[in-house]
Chains A and B, each alone.
Chain A
Amino acid sequence: MAEAVAEAVAEAVADAALPVATPAARRGRWLIYAVLLSFAVFFLVPLGVVLLNSVRTAQEIGLGSVIGWPRGFAMENYAEAWSRYCIAQRCEGVRNYMWNSLLMTVPATLVSTALGALAGYSVSLWRFRGDTIVFTIMLMGVFLPDQMRLIPWALVLRELGLTNTIAALVLIHTVQGLSFTTLFCRNYFVGIPQDLIKAAKVDGAGFFRIFWRIVLPLSPPILIVTVIWQFTGIWNEFLYGVTFTTGAQQPITAAIIAISVSSPTDVPQYGVQSAAVLLAALPTLLVYFFGGRYFMRGLTAGAVK
């Protein structure tokens, strides 16, 4: 049976490019679609449940089940989640935490992308003594697990007097993002012909002018990729948020953990909680919806056609 399926699939894949398909190949292709579709449904179920619950009232969920079609359209869940819902004894909704996340994510994304572009430019297009060693060391940052960095960061933050501040998280995410942003940009910039740099040098341009006038104008695809990557990564990150901030200083991902800690006497607030979760995820969802296209395009783009 498995063999027959494998055969049909192989045939379908082989025939996919051909305009006319044999009946066997057509059957194989339907099989592929069916499998893919079931995977897609499987992955989308949690999002679907949360989406539906976010517009159901607490009573409705309490009387029925957590999975169910909304009877009405309870938009007040969102209003409550935004400004009144109690998270860890503070009944101000998610808005302050969202604002914290934004204050953390935007500067960290912009600075790490800018520095990564500059670092990637210098390791790819300017050879200097020990350039490969510098790059290798930077690359190690990509593979170092986050847990291993907690204690060093704790020491650094204490020395700098940044404990429990959003500035601390900006610093952490900027520095840790550098490995990735440098790698991304470097891999893109090695596709820029050396001759362009040579020509610019002969024309009299220096390091920064070449970066600004020659390299950056070729870089939007990779800058978009890097910004999307950093933005979603930093927004969704929560280990550092939980570890280094408390109370009102927390980013949304850290704060929202408190949802799971509800007192046993309360009626479960599934509707409001779903709305809060969706609000927390909204920025990254929007980035995926509107930027995903550019992300794919940028990853596969070459520097110079």
Chain B
Amino acid sequence: MAALSVRGLHKRFGSTEVLKGIDLSVENGEFAVLLGPSGCGKSTLLNIIAGLERPNEGEVEIGGRVVTGLPPRDRDIAMVFQSYALYPAMTVRRNITFGMECRGVPRARQDEAVARVAALLQIDGLLERKPSQLSGGQRQRVAMGRALVRDPLLFLFDEPLSNLDALLRVDMRTEIKQLHRRIGSTIVYVTHDQIEAMTMASRIAVMNLGRLQQFATPDEVYHRPANLFVARFIGTPPMNTVKARLASDGAALVAIVGAGRPDETRLVLPAAPEAARAWIDREVFFGIRPECISDGGRGVDFSAVKVSAEVELSEPTGAETVVLARLAGERVRARVGPHVRLNQGQSAPFLVDTRTTCLFDPASEQLIA
């Protein structure tokens, strides 16, 4: 059963349309991540799901019940905010019990619930403190506790980790993931951090400019991006997308980068989809992940194509070196071994693994599948 369904959602603020028709269905127990650049409407969507904003059009269904007109308190949801939104004048304990207080839960049950959540999140020692006496990580935990103390149909998280420092964020990421595994509830989680999305999500909803671009597993979003936006948004560095001409070479398809140039590069595509045949002798966008272009020192399969490209920039990151190079005139990024040092202007050999590439329609920008 779908824990959450959103149908045909439109939201306008004055004359600007922030959500332009969102359809989304999240299964029971799923960890759905809303991912997208700043200002694309993630928080707006989450607020509409929570009932904090009204949509101009469309419907929201939670646990099989249409809740579009209902106020937040009648939607059986819990929410964690980016700013944590802890009530400054209340102790941690009161912060956690406030929701139960509003719902008239008896005192004994409240105490029980607080004890359970405090143990779960290891905040037992903080219960009598005020939020101003807590560190960022502790506040984050309390904010989680306030949501977890209830047993709602749906948890909504709006960038809960973005105010934490990098190390703490990695820890909390793991904890939230484990927590989800333990309690098994449905979560909708907003972030603009790809790593968070990739590591935690069961499915990622990629949004841009008020539209849902793709809603699929992290694997699929990464390897089969639905369109050029997703391809260029996911991954650090993201997928290379270069103009290429498609040609057939016997049974196989070939992408020709820089066709007509003296250094034109022919890349055989062993895994090109059937639909791509319609694009023979036409221009497409050829997409390839930077890790599929390497210096050959990483045990790449012998089926890889040897190419030569001119190095423009070399960025050592520690674990690897990202090289910006020109392949037949087109800019591409490659990921080479950490000890490989290439000089600017030098022409260097690369190995291109073409087994997992993508082709995009240049007009509609959609994946050719």
Residues of A within 8 A of B (CB): 193, 195-196, 198-205, 209, 213-214, 217-218, 304-305
Contact = CB atoms under 8 A, between A and B. Distances in A.
B79 A199 contact: yes
A125 B275 CA distance: 55
A203 B83 contact: no
Contacts, number: 63
Given A201-B73, A202-B50, A204-B73, A195 B85 contact: yes
Nearest to B47: A198
A171 B47 CA distance: 43
B75 to A, nearest CB: 8
A304 B72 CA distance: 24
B102 interface: yes
Nearest to A192: B88
B237 interface: no
Given A198-B52, A201-B52, A305 B132 contact: yes
A204 B83 contact: no
19 contacts: A193-B85, A196-B85, A198-B52, A198-B72, A199-B79, A199-B81, A200-B98, A201-B72, A202-B50, A202-B72, A202-B77, A202-B79, A213-B87, A213-B90, A213-B98, A214-B89, A217-B89, A304-B88, A305-B132
Given A198-B47, A198-B81, A204 B89 contact: no
Nearest to A216: B89
Interface of B: 47, 50-52, 71-73, 77-79, 81-83, 85, 87-90, 98-99, 102-103, 132, 146
Contacts of A205: 73, 98, 102
Contact of B87 (A200, A201, A202, A305): A200
A204 B152 CA distance: 13
Contacts of B81: 195, 198-199
Given A198-B52, A305-B132, A204 B85 contact: no
B71 A203 contact: no
Contacts of B87: 196, 199-200, 213-214
A205 B94 CA distance: 14
Contacts of B47: 198
A305 B79 CA distance: 23
A305 B73 CA distance: 28
Most buried by B among A198, A200, A217, A305: A198
List the 9 shortest-distance A-B pairs measured between CB atoms, nearest first.
A217-B89, A204-B102, A204-B73, A203-B99, A195-B85, A199-B85, A202-B72, A195-B81, A201-B72
Contacts of B83: 193, 195
A205 B47 CA distance: 17
Nearest to A209: B102
A130 B82 CA distance: 29
A169 to B, nearest CB: 35
Contacts of A213: 87, 90, 98
Contacts of A209: 102
A193 B81 CA distance: 11
Contacts of B102: 203-205, 209
A290 to B, nearest CB: 24
A32 B123 CA distance: 55
A196 B87 CA distance: 7
A165 to B, nearest CB: 40
B61 to A, nearest CB: 18
Given A198-B79, A217-B88, 7 more contacts: A195-B82, A195-B83, A196-B85, A202-B52, A202-B78, A203-B102, A305-B88
A214 B52 CA distance: 18
Contacts of A201: 51-52, 71-73
Most buried by B among A201, A214, A305: A201
B73 A203 contact: yes
A217 B90 CA distance: 9
B50 to A, nearest CB: 6
Most buried by A among B79, B87, B146: B87
A196 B81 CA distance: 9
Contacts of B72: 198, 201-202, 204
